[in-house]
Every structure is written in C-alpha cells, then in structure tokens.
Chain A
C-alpha cells in the first residue's frame, strides 16, 4: 500500500521519526480517552456549536414587549408569575410575551437577556445574532420542504 507521503507526493520534512512520534502521541491520547472517557468528565457538549443555549432576545423585541395590568379577577384567580412563582397583585404591571404569557418585568427581563424564548412555552423572540437567525431560517425552510414533500406524497398515494 502506498504510504501517506507517496500518496500526497511529498516527503517527510525531518525524516520519519517526528512523524511517528506524533502518531504515537495521538494513539496514546486516543487510548487514554477510550479507557478513561467516562471518568474524565469533560463537558464536551459545551464546546459543540448548536448545543449552546440560544442567544439573548434582540433589544428591539424586548423594548416592544407589551405591558399590561393585572385585573382584580385575574388576581382573584391566583394568577402567578411563572419565573418567581409569586402571585400577582391587583393592578400590578406585567410584561406580556407574544404568546400571552405574563411575567414581572424584573423576572422576564433578566431571562431574555440570557436567551430568546418564553420560559413557559419556548416561543422564540428575534435575536441580534445573525448566525443564529440564519440557522433558524434554514431550519424553518427545511421544515417547509418536508411539509411540501409530505403533501406531494399524500396527493399521489394518500
């Protein structure tokens, strides 16, 4: 079988020793990871893109959240803030998400400065992160394509 260097039409830079040494080190590392993998407890998920928490909600979206006042009947029903779990007082001012979930401003604002979704139903607000927005649009387009394919399939065989 042709060696790595033959295949790539080049020569090892400083003889073959450093190359095989590096190879040995890699092998050692691989073996170490195989043997101790579960014990090493490296949180690799935090490094992998796409597994991180979604970025904060955009400033504009947060500023445009509607405010509302808790009515006496809502308060009487024991409506509470899903973040601090405390019941709302009559006429207390709350922030209303587009999904209609209501929160104390001091409870929802810190959350939206961390991530863009409703703490109750994960309804997403826009973000100021172009990469994230692009990925989200791509996901939506993929979903649409799938729905179209399904519809086509159903119209032919359904």
Chain B
C-alpha cells in the first residue's frame, strides 16, 4: 500500500484510540492485518433509538489510494435500517461515496455512521423493504429494528418483546432457518401466514 495511506491510518488509529468517544465506549477500531489495509470497527447503538445498548461491528477496507478515496465500509452485524442492506450490510451514505473529503478520518466516518443510526434517510434507501416499513408503519419498524438489535447486536431484552421471539421460534420449530424466518417475518409485518408463504415459495 502507498506510504501516505499507511502513515495516515497509523495516525488515525491512535486518534480513535485516544478519542473521547472511545473512552465512553462509543466507537472502537481494531487492526486485522499488519499492512493496515483491513480494520474492524465497532459503534455503540445511539441512545433513544431501537439500537440502544447494541454493539455493531463494521468491516473497514482501506484502498491503496486512501485518503483520496473513501474507505469501503459495511456492517458485519445484521441490522434493520432503511440505509443499510439487511442482506449484505452495504451502506448508503453520501460521505462514503461522492461526498467523501480527504480530511475525513476513521473517527469522523464512525461518528457519521452512528449519526445515521439516529437519523435514517428513508428517501435515499439502501434497503427498499425496510425504508417502506419505516415510512408506512414507524411503530412496527421500531419494534422490528429493536428485535434485530437484540438478536444480533447483544442489545438488552425486555419481557414485552417476547411476542416476536415466539413467532420466530414457531417457524424455527417447523424447520426453517432462524435468520430466514426472522427476515421473512420482518418483511411481512410479522404476519405468520405471509411469512410462511414467503419461506416456502
């Protein structure tokens, strides 16, 4: 990798480690290899969102041409959010595309992603199914997003969330894959009949 990219990532890595946000456990980065081309990021689900209490892992790939081109970032933790693919974790965020600026850093990227979790942009969606639910049935979207955070991001569970667990478990007992069952239920307003139809078709 080009020298400028390596030197910069080293500096940025220290910046994130020493940052105020890292001290509060809001953001974190880890190295994956010694050439600084791949990193693992982590952001905490922001308070007063369905993601609160969850930890979301990110795959961060640093291109050879960094910082003239943005890092390639995607969610490794499955998440229910209008601007993040529930299937692949791909992110729709302008600063990771055409609005990237060379003075942005890992820290600003992680904080922007955290802000995206607080304020979705349903009119510029990555996941059309989630975005539609967000716009048409906000309450159900919130419950579904919280359920995904509990299932995949270690967000704390509460008694009143049992209804969704029961539905996923019922489908799992019928022999369907747990994640596929959860995805089908989420996409069909937690209607068992329609989710089952989707799973067998």
Total B residues in contact with A, Cβ cutoff 8 Å: 26
CA distance A107 to B4 in the complex (A): 9
Chain A contact surface mostly? loop
B179 at interface (Cβ–Cβ under 8 A)? no
Contact B126 A38 (CB under 8 A): yes
B8 at interface (Cβ–Cβ under 8 A)? yes
Contact B90 A83 (CB under 8 A): no
Contact A119 B102 (CB under 8 A): yes
Contact A38 B103 (CB under 8 A): no
Contact B128 A37 (CB under 8 A): yes
CB distance from B9 to the nearest CB of A (A): 10
Total A residues in contact with B, Cβ cutoff 8 Å: 24
B87 at interface (Cβ–Cβ under 8 A)? yes
Report A37-59 residues with CB < 8 Å from chain B CB.
Answer: 37-39, 41, 45-46, 51-54
B112 at interface (Cβ–Cβ under 8 A)? no
Contact A122 B98 (CB under 8 A): no
Query: Could you say which of A13-21, A24-32, A109-117, A135-143 contacts chain B?
Result: A109-117
A65 at interface (Cβ–Cβ under 8 A)? no
Which 9 interchain pairs have the tightest Cβ spacing? A119-B102, A82-B103, A119-B103, A53-B98, A85-B11, A120-B103, A119-B101, A83-B102, A38-B127
Interface residues of B, Cβ cutoff 8 Å to A: 4, 7-8, 11-12, 15, 67-68, 85-88, 90, 92, 97-98, 100-105, 126-129
Interface residues of A, Cβ cutoff 8 Å to B: 37-39, 41, 45-46, 51-54, 82-86, 107, 110-111, 114, 117-120, 122
